[in-house]
Structure 1
Amino acid sequence: MPTPLTLASWNVNSLKVRLPQVLDWLAETRTDAVVLQETKLVDEAFPVEALAAAGYEAIFTGQKTYNGVALLYRRETLRVANPERTTLNLPGLPDEQKRFVATELAPAAGGEAFVFCGGYIPNGMETGSWKFLYKLDWFAALERVTGEFLRTNPRLVLGGDFNIAPEDRDCWNPAEREGQILVSKPERAALARLMRTCGLSDAFRLFPQSPETYSWWDYRQAGFEKNRGLRIDLLLVSEALRARVKASTVDARPRANAQPSDHAPVTLALELD
């Protein structure tokens, strides 16, 4: 049986600042593919050469100061199977914000291809605001595009910073946050509808997990040190891949770095034929 692939998602909160940490993490973990969020770089400044020297190819779309996403894959283990299926931003959504990337990957040595998508879902700012409505609209577009991918390839992984804690157990203070942004009923309903309509499963919840495991901690008030966090970074897998997922975890170690991102990488191990 082939060695499982490691896929990941990580909101790096500025790739310019966090590039050394990303390179160190990739060298240590030898992750096969990762989707990044909040790269905050225009395309001309993207560190293509540094990543290539580390053995990774990059597909990316960015803008100055805000947003920006990328998909990195290790040349030794993966290749782009169908370049024409590479997608930047959500088709059909009139939106200049750089929040989505997807491509179809296959093992470099041969094997079945799968779609790997990365999204940076809008925060929403405050329930009921126009940014909140934009977030729900963005989810509807994501649901449509994910469905279109699945119609041509049922093997799909959708990772990203979803800016939603799916359940109360994904939040350190659910009673205090009830009804607020990131945990409100409309947001959770949008995520649940995406998963139900597209047949997606939360890879993390396919396995027993330690309680109070989060992927984001506020920089303020020693959020990480006190483990006052939220699990808002997810890897969702389609029904065709559900049984192929062999492990999923949150790697909190980079959050303890000096000048870290406020998010930690989330990972899964995927076994393909």
Structure 2
Amino acid sequence: MKIATWNVNSIRIRQQQVSHWLQMNPVDVLCLQETKVIDADFPKMPFEELGYHLYISGQPSYNGVALLSRQPLEDVRIGFTQVLGVDDVLAATFDQQKRVISGIFHDVRIVNLYVPNGADLSSDKYAYKLQWLKMLRNYLTLFKENYPQELCVCGDFNVAPEDKDIHNPKGKETHIMATPQERKALQEVLEIGLKDAFRKFTAEGGHYSWWDYRSGGFQRNRGWRIDHHFLTPKLYEQATSCTIDIEPRKQEKPSDHTPVIVEF
């Protein structure tokens, strides 16, 4: 089984790139973030022609997540409220932004996330991000405690877990995606029983999944590792590889992120 995550930064702009990548890399499930399109306008046909089933949750211009699966998924759930309940007012507020979708593939619950960026430390968006991560912990805890499936929690987390996940960690304490508060919030999510698949196979730094468009970020490998697969222990033991495919980032007008693939 192969599961990939990829923030495509607009599926309509990069539909051909994603289609081509799937032809070259026919993963079982592809998790997309930042699709930036309402459901009715998602370019379904090219992916259906490749044999994929689509499950989407989008909004215009911002956010948006999708699951592309070679087999139909079971128990697809969109947003926090389909797990936490419609009476959870904060969850319903968070679900106004389309950032969460999950489904079951071969007894694995795949949770596809687009974690808020946070903007900067003085922004309301930063506080929103920290609250959102607390909500994520509650959401995943319910899955883990009440359902039998192993979890593959993947997506764009907008957090670099360690200094070696950043090309230059200088000033990290005040740099969005690496502040102690964000790392602590992510660690509290992982403490429910999730492990970093990439670090099972690659211990050293210098491997990134996102590069700023500015100042030749990719060409100079000035990147960040912020796209992740976090696995429950049994699934972690079954993982045979987790790799970052930098080839799509070399293309003309690419996404600023590139795919990360885990295999079991």
Bin the TM-score by the shorter chain: over 0.9
Deviation readout 1:193-241 (Å, 9 max, x if unpaired)? 1001x20001000113553000000001000000001000001001121
Shift of 1:154: 4.2
Counterpart check, 1:98 vs 2:94: no
Counterpart check, 1:155 vs 2:150: yes
Deviation readout 1:68-97 (Å, 9 max, x if unpaired)? 00011113xxx32x33xx111122412210
Which residue in the other structure is 2:84 paired with? none
* Percent identity (aligned): 39
Distance 1:210 1:73 in 2: 32
Q: Would the aligned equivalents of 2:213 and 2:256 in 1 still touch at CA under 8 Å? A: yes
Q: Which runs of 4+ in 1 moved over 4 A?
A: none
Which residue in the other structure is 1:17 paired with? 13
Q: Would the aligned equivalents of 2:52 and 2:69 in 1 still touch at CA under 8 Å? A: yes
Q: Would the aligned equivalents of 2:160 and 2:226 in 1 still touch at CA under 8 Å? A: yes
Which residue in the other structure is 1:200 paired with? 194
Distance 1:16 1:206 in 2: 34
Distance 2:255 2:120 in 1: 23
Counterpart of 1:102 in 2: which secondary structure? Answer: strand
1:169 alignment partner, one of 153, 157, 164: 164
Equivalent residue runs for 1:13-92 within 5 Å: 13-75=9-71, 79-80=72-73, 82-83=74-75, 86-91=76-81, 92=88
Which residue in the other structure is 2:238 paired with? 244
Which residue in the other structure is 2:109 paired with? 115
Distance 1:203 1:178 in 2: 25
Q: What one-letter code is carried by the residue in structure 2 that aligns with 1:178?
A: E
Q: Would the aligned equivalents of 2:164 and 2:204 in 1 still touch at CA under 8 Å? A: no
Which residue in the other structure is 1:110 paired with? none
1:125 alignment partner, one of 98, 119, 128: 119
Counterpart of 1:254 in 2: which secondary structure? Answer: helix
Distance 1:240 1:144 in 2: 21
Shift of 1:49: 1.8
Counterpart of 1:116 in 2: which secondary structure? Answer: strand
Distance 1:134 1:59 in 2: 26
1:260 alignment partner, one of 241, 254, 259: 254
> How many residue pairs were aligned?
253
Q: Would the aligned equivalents of 1:154 and 1:240 in 2 still touch at CA under 8 Å? A: no
Q: What one-letter code is carried by the residue in structure 2 that aligns with 1:252?
A: I
Deviation readout 1:45-85 (Å, 9 max, x if unpaired)? 0122221101111111101100000011113xxx32x33xx
Which residue in the other structure is 2:212 paired with? 218
Q: What one-letter code is carried by the residue in structure 1 that aligns with 2:50?
A: A
Q: Would the aligned equivalents of 1:101 and 1:119 in 2 still touch at CA under 8 Å? A: yes
Shift of 1:34: 1.3
Name the stretch that deviates more: 208-217 or 33-42. 208-217
Deviation readout 1:240-272 (Å, 9 max, x if unpaired)? 2111100001111100011100001011101xx
Counterpart of 1:175 in 2: which secondary structure? Answer: coil
Deviation readout 1:84-134 (Å, 9 max, x if unpaired)? xx111122412210001001112xxxxxx1100100000001114211110
Distance 1:35 1:128 in 2: 31
In structure 2, list runs of 5 or more residues that go unmatched. Answer: 82-87
Q: Would the aligned equivalents of 1:154 and 1:238 in 2 still touch at CA under 8 Å? A: no
Q: Would the aligned equivalents of 1:114 and 1:153 in 2 still touch at CA under 8 Å? A: no
CA RMSD of aligned residues (A): 1.1
Shift of 1:178: 3.2
Distance 2:59 2:172 in 1: 32
- Taking structure 1 as the reference length, the TM-score comes to 0.90
